[in-house]
Structure 1
Amino acid sequence: MLPPLKPIAMKERISMLFIEYGEIDVLDGAFVVIDKTGVRTQIPVGSIACLMLEPGTRVSHRAAALAARVGTLLVWVGEAGVRLYASGQPGGARSDRLLYQAKLALDEKARLKVVRKMYAMRFDEEPPAKRSVDQLRGIEGARVRKTYKLLAQRHGVAWKGRSYDPSQWDKSDLPNLCLSAATACLYGITEAAVLAAGYAPAVGFIHTGKPLSFVYDIADIFKFDSVVPIAFQIAARAPAQPERQVRLACRDHFRQSKLLGKIIPAIEEILTAGELEMPKPAPDTQPVAIPEEKGLGDAGHRH
């Protein structure tokens, strides 16, 4: 019997590989992507931290088993990550990172440091001194409301405030419909980043008690520099299919800006602000580092 494969250190891996319109299988002990013409593109085993599987991709049982053995995360997403449908072992089953995140969230002083770091990164300035998490949440909410108003004025959109009912999506006014569609796209790619980095989407610091609390925390840092302006731009045009237009625009923005590659380092920077010691990983796990994103399309290249 062959000895078990040992995962390659994450710092030595390529970050993300997006695959579309291909079948992932195993050949000679390595991942292989087979396109519709039968052309095979080999991916060195264990050299990928995360495989992002876009529409039109199929995965064999052997490939899924190999991914589990070498600690490669499989994530089923929409185009460019605008939706997240399912994932394999989060972060290659990294319990040390989950424990570290939970420890930070449960330590009152550490949690406040993390929240202050999130505030600083979101608004590019230090938060007011001697404020609690609840107080910072209130200050943040007031600034967000003001930013929505300013963006609506800039794009000539009538704005009555952020208001929507998740159970009655279609009853929102046009700006809120576009914003909901845009933030849903951002949540998809952010959840993929959280999982790829080995953390738990539910363990948040500002947001709490939701399945995606940490996703909301991280997404909020990026949304006003990415999807929110897109939502107002499209609302100003009042297209026939606003949700679809928002989704396509977010997809293009994610690809052009390589947003996924920016989110994961930000997660690490934010949690480091908690100033607690990271638990040592188990012998069969390695530290996470996320370099450049890459992609494979129909014939092994992104178009």
Structure 2
Amino acid sequence: MNKNIGAKKPKLSELGRVRDRITFLYIEHAKLNRQESAILVSDSRGTVYVPGAMVSVLLLGPGVDVTHRAMELIGDVGMSVVWVGEQGVRQYAHGRALNHSSRLLESQAKLVSNTRTRVAVARKMYQMRFPNENVSGLSMQELRGKEGSRVRGVYRTQSKKTDVPWSRREYNPDNFELGTPINKALTAAHQALYGLSYSVIVAMGASAGLGFVHTGHDLSFVYDFADLYKAEFSIPIAFQIAAKYGNDDDIGSKTRLAMRDAFADGKLLVRMVKDLKSILDVSEAGTSLDVINLWDDKLGLQKFGVQYQEFKEDDDG
């Protein structure tokens, strides 16, 4: 046996773009290993090969055993890992960003650090939810009230459409089973949306913690971003699943599968990548996979990999 043989680290040119990837894959009660550029998923039924560069976010449920080699590949290909508890009510870690450019992160930090630009970005995100109205003159308080009214209306509409009774949103992160069927479905649906949002944000090189509306949490921007799509994806799907399956003990799993299909059918990854760049005001040209420069306070960005000569000012100034 040749001990020098091992899995090669994938090159950037071999990695799939974020928008071309499968949205997410949920795994439980299985062992994850690695063979070259693929994740091996094994359980009592056999083994399947998952191309590492083609999955956006990996949801790992109870009973999952992951090898160091598998985690190495996950980090290399920029796949987000979400360790989830029973029925998917927790999320934890992620791999290295697929996009090695810091352009999005720098733009995000600049925008969120100034009150005027932060409010402007928040308005832009609210405007995406009210395409036929002008919200440019509304305060943050007015925007929150308007959004709250919109979401309550979405809940009422879906309740009437599906005949699923609705009173209020109830969520106990420590006991998923205490919830009503619709609240269980909403929890699972929102969690899937958070996972995909989290994956796109970190894969593109932005910060999950620098939120414009939400703040103070390491996933603040995830909540900001996911809120753009709840009325179209997670809320209607949760009501549809609750109407179809009611008190089914596996309602969380059925909701996640429905969300996965909706993500693919609605080409949500493509939209998310485009929306993220628009929100953070960065063009396609500013998000190349592998770019690095040297910063200079007077000359601007300078080339990396160049052996510079010592600079000395003339004695005459």
- Under a length normalisation based on structure 1, what TM-score does the superposition of the two structures give? 0.69
Matched, 1:102 2:109: yes
Show the counterpart of 2:164: 157
Q: Indicate conservation of the 8 Å contact 2:214/2:223, yes or no.
A: yes
- How many residues align? The count is 263
- Equivalent-residue separation in structure 2 for 1:109 and 1:6 (angstroms): 42
Once the 2 structures are TM-superposed, how far is the Cα of residue 236 of structure 1 from its aligned partner? 2.0
Gaps spanning 5+ residues in structure 1: where? 285-303
Matched, 1:64 2:72: yes
Q: Indicate conservation of the 8 Å contact 1:84/1:191, yes or no.
A: no
Matched, 1:254 2:257: no
Once the 2 structures are TM-superposed, how far is the Cα of residue 54 of structure 1 from its aligned partner? 6.4
Q: Which amino acid aligns with 2:248?
A: A
Q: Indicate conservation of the 8 Å contact 2:56/2:199, yes or no.
A: no
| SS of the residue 2:170 aligns to | coil
Q: Which of 130, 135, 142 is the matching residue for 2:142?
A: 135
- Equivalent-residue separation in structure 1 for 2:143 and 2:78 (angstroms): 35
Once the 2 structures are TM-superposed, how far is the Cα of residue 192 of structure 1 from its aligned partner? 0.6
Q: Which amino acid aligns with 2:202?
A: L
- Equivalent-residue separation in structure 2 for 1:57 and 1:167 (angstroms): 23
Show the counterpart of 1:73: 78
- In structure 2, the CA distance between the partners of 1:239 and 1:256, relative to structure 1 (3 Å rule), is farther
Once the 2 structures are TM-superposed, how far is the Cα of residue 191 of structure 1 from its aligned partner? 0.6
Mapping of 1:253-292 within 5 angstroms?
Answer: 253-272=262-281, 282-283=292-293
Q: Which of 147, 171, 180 is the matching residue for 1:173?
A: 180
| SS of the residue 1:224 aligns to | coil
- In structure 2, the CA distance between the partners of 1:246 and 1:57, relative to structure 1 (3 Å rule), is same
- In structure 2, the CA distance between the partners of 1:134 and 1:40, relative to structure 1 (3 Å rule), is closer
Once the 2 structures are TM-superposed, how far is the Cα of residue 101 of structure 1 from its aligned partner? 0.9
- Equivalent-residue separation in structure 2 for 1:62 and 1:165 (angstroms): 32
Structure with max Cα Rg: 2
- In structure 2, the CA distance between the partners of 1:34 and 1:184, relative to structure 1 (3 Å rule), is closer
Show the counterpart of 2:210: 203
Once the 2 structures are TM-superposed, how far is the Cα of residue 217 of structure 1 from its aligned partner? 1.0
| SS of the residue 1:223 aligns to | coil
| SS of the residue 1:130 aligns to | coil
What is the aligned-residue RMSD (CA, Å)? 4.0
- In structure 2, the CA distance between the partners of 1:217 and 1:224, relative to structure 1 (3 Å rule), is same
Q: Which fold has the larger relative contact order, with Cα–Cα distance below 8 Å and residues 6 or more apart in sequence? A: 1
Mapping of 1:176-255 within 5 angstroms?
Answer: 176-237=183-244, 238-241=246-249, 242-255=251-264
Once the 2 structures are TM-superposed, how far is the Cα of residue 120 of structure 1 from its aligned partner? 1.9
Q: Which amino acid aligns with 1:261?
A: V
Show the counterpart of 1:14: 17
- Equivalent-residue separation in structure 1 for 2:197 and 2:128 (angstroms): 16
Gaps spanning 5+ residues in structure 2: where? 1-8, 295-317
- In structure 2, the CA distance between the partners of 1:265 and 1:78, relative to structure 1 (3 Å rule), is farther
Q: Which of 103, 106, 118 is the matching residue for 1:111?
A: 118
Once the 2 structures are TM-superposed, how far is the Cα of residue 6 of structure 1 from its aligned partner? 12
| SS of the residue 2:213 aligns to | coil
Structure with the higher helix share, 1 or 2: 1
- Equivalent-residue separation in structure 2 for 1:162 and 1:51 (angstroms): 29
Q: Which amino acid aligns with 2:163?
A: G
- Under a length normalisation based on structure 2, what TM-score does the superposition of the two structures give? 0.67
- In structure 2, the CA distance between the partners of 1:57 and 1:97, relative to structure 1 (3 Å rule), is farther
Q: Indicate conservation of the 8 Å contact 2:32/2:70, yes or no.
A: no
- Equivalent-residue separation in structure 2 for 1:259 and 1:252 (angstroms): 10
Mapping of 1:28-39 within 5 angstroms?
Answer: 31=37
